[in-house]
Structure 1
């Protein structure tokens, strides 16, 4: 930890308290309190192997915070395998006693619309070569996670080649997306902070990519349907998604992609929870069926 602090211009001797933050599933995060009162968070990448796209994730997170306006951490320092940033106030929405969820979901929709103001020049993950079109980027992303699943011997509900073919049949639908938007793609309730009855922060942006803003709503509605309050807040703030039939069909396709990631990552993470594996595999199977029915 001392090396990361020194590289960021922070005297390690100025740290008066340090505690590891639990709840993460990939990086290690440590909350730091400095003698001058500043509160920082240091994230350190693991050395264990993961999925192919899981490289330089903290570089991605740092770039996201530098580019995107909103209630986000500010980068204090970054380097190979680490990110030092300011701590955003609040506690994770997941598990917190929120009493007015509909109002907060509208507020969250407005915040997400602001996140989606950032556009780029190509599609795909920030630390990969970008693609000129969204169909090329998305099919490559799916192919890569399917290759990981095969490499790790992950049991899928359909053969990998069949899933890849099903995705490619939707390329005309994906061609409707022509503007690369910076998508967080991990906005489940655990990465949304609340304080004083308000949404106070957005964290953990290491899985961001340039793509279809519709994809953002997969994690925003993880394991549940798209809710009216979220859509209303997003639309009122001028978010770029128009929830027509093609957008809803693309959302179903992006659910399949996140399902694939969650199923495949269990093996390299040595997650042996049989109930979780069964739940995620069933979820993937159901979402694949939904995508197939929409053809």
Structure 2
């Protein structure tokens, strides 16, 4: 860690744990040059198929997003076979999760505008950058879901098949690979008097912007968020609702599967995720 901070040119650097990370180690760095966030990849920690080289994907997301949105700027990277490190600027504000002291309608409108701007960034193909891209979104997303089902079998988690093939035409409608954060729940949205930051872009991919709406309304429905949708400028179609249900099923399948390598034993959370997954699959049935 000291070597990485020295490589970045930081002096008198002091580190302290920064909560919220569930996969990478996250530290706040205070140095003569200012405040920063250092993320370190785990060494040999079991995970899901897509959980490889995540900090490289986050660095890409920050590089592309910072010019147009309140996203951390990349200060320094150190990517090696022994593990990855990403040093970024530290954004102001506190997570929106659990906050009652903010103007939530204002924040949701700002989120809508910001998400729409990020989704204008277009990639070279579809899927996770770290896993290799596909020429179509249908092929990419079906492969992403297949990987999670394989992970579930590996960890002994029973997941129902989503039956995506019958809805292939809905996914074929997506022809532009947009930059999707895919983890914009309230814990990764920073606020002060308004929106101040979007963090933890390590799970980003190139795909359908509708996929963003899952974590933006985690365990709920984005269609009830009129402030966000009006600012974003989105109106749902039947095919978009089908795709949204598939992306919900995908995320909730991830959340159920990752409980095993994470060692999570909260039965209430497991029931919440299981019920949400069942509701999403019912739309696809």
Which residue number corresponds to residue 195 of structure 2? 199
Aligned mates of 1:52, 1:140 — CA distance in 2: 11
Which residue number corresponds to residue 172 of structure 2? 175
Among 105, 119, 122, which residue is 1:119 paired with? 122
State the Cα distance separating 1:144 from its structure 2 match. 0.2
Among 17, 41, 48, which residue is 1:20 paired with? 17
Which residue number corresponds to residue 8 of structure 2? 8
**1:268 equivalenced with 2:261 (yes/no):** yes
Which residue number corresponds to residue 230 of structure 1? 228
State the Cα distance separating 1:10 from its structure 2 match. 2.9
Which residue number corresponds to residue 152 of structure 1? 155
Query: Unaligned stretches of 5+ in structure 1?
Result: 236-240
Large movers: runs of 4+ above 3 Å: none
- How large is the Cα RMSD of the aligned pairs? 1.3
Secondary structure of the corresponding residue to residue 263 of structure 1: helix
Which residue number corresponds to residue 238 of structure 1? none
Which residue number corresponds to residue 131 of structure 2? 128
In the superposition, the TM-score normalised over structure 1's length comes to 0.90
Aligned mates of 2:167, 2:238 — CA distance in 1: 14
Secondary structure of the corresponding residue to residue 206 of structure 1: helix
Aligned mates of 1:49, 1:249 — CA distance in 2: 32
State the Cα distance separating 1:175 from its structure 2 match. 0.1
Aligned mates of 1:248, 1:210 — CA distance in 2: 19
State the Cα distance separating 1:272 from its structure 2 match. 1.7
Aligned mates of 2:206, 2:5 — CA distance in 1: 30
Aligned mates of 2:46, 2:103 — CA distance in 1: 41
Which residue number corresponds to residue 95 of structure 1? 98
Aligned mates of 1:279, 1:97 — CA distance in 2: 23
